[in-house]
Structure 1
Amino acid sequence: MEMADINNSANSSSDVHQNGSEEVKIDTLEDWWEPKPECCIYKVPIDLRKKNEEAYTPQVISIGPLHHGKNELKDMQKQKERYNHIFKERRGNEKLVEMKCYIRNQEKKIRYCYEQPSSLESGPFVEMVLDDTVFIIELFLRHYWNVDDFLLEKPLYRNSIKRDLQLLENQLPYFVLNELYMSAIKGIYSGPYKGSANTDPPSFLHISCYFFGYKSYDIGKMVGVKHFTDLRRCVLIQNRPKSNTPKEVVDLPCATKLDKSGVSFKHVENEDRLLDLKFLTCKPWIHTPILEKI
């Protein structure tokens, strides 16, 4: 085979060979998806998902392309439409057109943030990002302004949405949310915001942390947040316990390995200090050591 033939074969989208009366389609390199440097939103590994499917799957609302269109999540689509209508009444259709234009211009960068490529074509993809973004912005602002809304008043909805919005597979890139939030609030805010004498509009980081109920954090240290899952990580790292005599930890086993070794984990109600752990010494009548949050 000549070099030119090899190059032509590699550049084609597919190669079809005849095998008797059966056609066999062979995908070529151009069909393979390689995650880009911008990639930050991943699929949960299959072996991890198998241990607890519900822990990694949205239960009430889909955000982003990975769970978009699932039948079991369609009920919340009506609430996205309601929020879109409320937003449009307050800001006007021109603002939605402006936001949609921004998403369209950033579409390639947004797609590159996902490990798994979306099969949505450009138009539906842009509409999906716009609908999800408007829903999040409207939800966070209504929560911040204490607006009466059954999604926020009913713990069943509020807590389920909070949970789903922090799932790794259920994310939009933070830069999109932040940029469109700043565009959305331009010209509509006045007065000091909660916990501050500052009369400037609250940052998206501020209302995000307020919505999720993070009580202790330093926004100034949250640089380069990728998405809400990453925001959760940033808050936990800031609140991790610090040793007075720090030592290098060599080959620290993960929770999965500790579990397989017979260590049990006991949950206590203290979500802000997830990384505060203490090891309970085994008693003669206790055969399994237990790790408990402080």
Structure 2
Amino acid sequence: MQERLALLPGDARKYEPLKLFRVPACFREANKVMYEPLEVSIGPYHHGTESLRSMEEYKWKVLRDFLSRNPDVGLDVYLLEMKNMEADARKWYGESINLGSDEFVMMLVLDGCFIIEYFLKRENSEFDAFFGVAGWSVKSDLLLLENQIPFFVIHKLFSVHASLNVECNENCSLLKLVVRYFPGSATFTHSKPSCKEINHLLHLFYWYLTFNATKIHSIIGTPEEYGTFSGIESRYSWLESTGKNDKQEDITVPCVTELHEAGVKFRLKKNFSHYFDITFENGIIELPLNVLNKPWCRILTNIVTFEQNLPMKFRIGTSYAQLMDLLVNNEKDVVLLEQKGVIENWLGSEEAAAAFFNQLGRCGILDIGDHYFLGFMNDVRAYARLPWPRYRAKLMHDYFNNPWSSISILAGGSLLVLTVVQTYYTISHA
């Protein structure tokens, strides 16, 4: 028991967030396919999985391609660097890793070089038959919570590779190389974190996805160092004015169809500061485009689950997931959002899209008082209760929903006006 205690990472009674951890069983059992790699295992959690054997063999070819880019650096150099990092790398996982020293070091080299070579091939437009066949699966596999190695491992391998390669300079940094091929990278801020601030690839993607919303720079250290993000409240007035609601059971929002009938309009938000930048103003809800395909659904699910270990006040991804779960009840809600250009659905059916949003809302737990969209929901719900927007929406739906109805109404109205005018003149000249 003393030996086992001595091997535990960190210090007693000192808070340290888990950096590389397994998905909790309560989330995993709902939909395993969202959390388990389909093509390639990265790190120890899925190492040796039989269904991933073909890519495991292919990693050796990828390693050979990577080493050929800089023949002046031999394999022994990379192995030595990883050997020196072994103890630190093991500490980053939330459980003991049952791999011997040599096997663990070999895994770090194979997986780390695989990641770098994957992005280098894309950067240089190098055709690779295997990546071509399994491209979308590999991309989403690299951003799964359980499929990670420490980012400092990748950074060290890239640094060793670039040190003697004259083509690699400050304009070809690892961060720039990787982020360019993240989903939706064109919308990301140009601000860059330090490599020391990033835990793994999923954390890096999360950083870029939410940076302008929360100024998340690090999840390493104590809660005081990165904790409650108290500066957020001053940037969002509705957080200051609303605060926690004593009637927490009322914190909800009608679905898209009900809001539409209540006169709320939905519009595509073209200029947004971050992916979860949903706003409500003057009866209009604006949302950034959400392209629903299988890779993105897997990535978004893992982002929400990853957020559960962040000691922060407003978990934006989790708040987004629960908000969309409320807004989308069934296929009718999806159809309306598609018509408004807010959603592009590549899941095969509106039912599948609705089912995804419903399961996404169950991938994270959130104190309702810390809901990022608390004020948003209060404002939308209050607007939906107003009588005039609802009457106006019903009028537009019942009488102006097609050109012929509009023409009939206008003709009838014109006839009524002419009749009134004629009657007035008849009486006045009698």
Q: What TM-score, normalized by structure 1, do the two folds share? A: 0.71
> Is 1:150 aligned to residue 129 of structure 2?
yes
Aligned length: 249
- Return the offset for 1:177: 0.4
What corresponds to 1:174 in structure 2?
Answer: 151
> Is 1:220 aligned to residue 192 of structure 2?
yes
Please give the per-residue CA displacement for 1:164-185, whole angstroms capped at 9, x wherever unaligned.
Answer: 1111111010111012101112
Aligned to 1:122, which of 69, 89, 101? 101
Let me know the Cα RMSD of the aligned residues: 3.8
Distance in 2 (CA, whole Å) between partners of 1:177 and 1:75 is 23
Does the 8 Å contact 1:39/1:112 carry over to 2?
no
Distance in 1 (CA, whole Å) between partners of 2:166 and 2:278 is 42
Change (3 A) 1:151 1:250: farther
Does the 8 Å contact 1:64/1:128 carry over to 2?
yes
What corresponds to 2:181 in structure 1?
Answer: 211
What corresponds to 1:79 in structure 2?
Answer: 58
- Return the offset for 1:30: 3.8
The residue type equivalent to 2:327 in the other structure is: I
Structure-to-structure mapping, 1:226-241, within 5 angstroms: 226-240=199-213
Change (3 A) 1:60 1:152: closer
- Return the offset for 1:218: 2.8
Aligned to 2:327, which of 278, 290, 293? 290
Does the 8 Å contact 1:206/1:219 carry over to 2?
no
- Return the offset for 1:92: 3.3
The residue type equivalent to 2:239 in the other structure is: K
> Is 1:139 aligned to residue 139 of structure 2?
no
Distance in 2 (CA, whole Å) between partners of 1:163 and 1:55 is 10
Aligned to 2:172, which of 179, 183, 202? 202
More helix by share: 2
Please give the per-residue CA displacement for 1:57-86, whole angstroms capped at 9, x wherever unaligned.
Answer: 111110000110000111111221111122
Distance in 2 (CA, whole Å) between partners of 1:171 and 1:31 is 25
Distance in 1 (CA, whole Å) between partners of 2:17 and 2:277 is 32
The residue type equivalent to 2:278 in the other structure is: L
Please give the per-residue CA displacement for 1:121-170, whole angstroms capped at 9, x wherever unaligned.
Answer: 1010100111001111111111111112224444xx22111111111111
Aligned to 1:185, which of 144, 157, 162? 162
Q: What TM-score, normalized by structure 2, do the two folds share? A: 0.50
Structure-to-structure mapping, 1:250-289, within 5 angstroms: 250=243, 273-277=274-278
SS in 1 for 2:74: helix
Distance in 1 (CA, whole Å) between partners of 2:148 and 2:255 is 31
- Return the offset for 1:221: 4.0
Distance in 1 (CA, whole Å) between partners of 2:129 and 2:138 is 12
Does the 8 Å contact 1:60/1:73 carry over to 2?
yes
What corresponds to 2:361 in structure 1?
Answer: none
- Return the offset for 1:264: 6.3
The residue type equivalent to 2:201 in the other structure is: F
The residue type equivalent to 1:245 in the other structure is: S
Does the 8 Å contact 1:63/1:170 carry over to 2?
yes
